[in-house]
Amino acid sequence: MNSPALQLTNLEALGQAAECLRVLAHPHRLRMLQMLNQGQFTVGELAEACELPAAMASEHLRLMQRCGFLSSDKEGRKVFYQIAEPHLVNILQCIEARFDSPATP
């Protein structure tokens, strides 16, 4: 009996995917992505929501930007970040569906 041919992604692409998933695998980065999924925010706003120093928040944002997850726009002295990779929405939905506990009244 012949089974259908497996459709597999090449290992180089899977290596890139694994590296980007490692970047996502951090609670502060996931919190930032949850916020950015709802709008544009500055480093200061993201840092405050994550209870982080702005310099540390900037480093997290830089790592996510390097993977192509985020883009930024400068308006005057402020830099606003937003999600650039539309597939992140699906990843966030999976994480929230699995790990977000219902709010207690």
pTM for the structure as a whole: 0.85
d(CA 86, CA 62): 18
Q: What's the number of domains the chain is made of?
A: 1
CATH, residue 80: 1.10.10.10
**82 located within any domain:** yes
> What tens digit of pLDDT does each residue of 30-50 get?
999 999 999 999 999 999 999
pLDDT of 69: 96
Span 34-90, pLDDT tens digits: 999 999 999 999 999 999 999 999 999 999 999 999 999 999 999 999 999 999 999
Domain that holds residue 37: 22-97
The dihedral sign for the CA sequence 59, 41, 81, 32: positive
**Within a domain: residue 67?**
yes
Q: Considering the domain boundaries, does residue 52 fall inside one?
A: yes
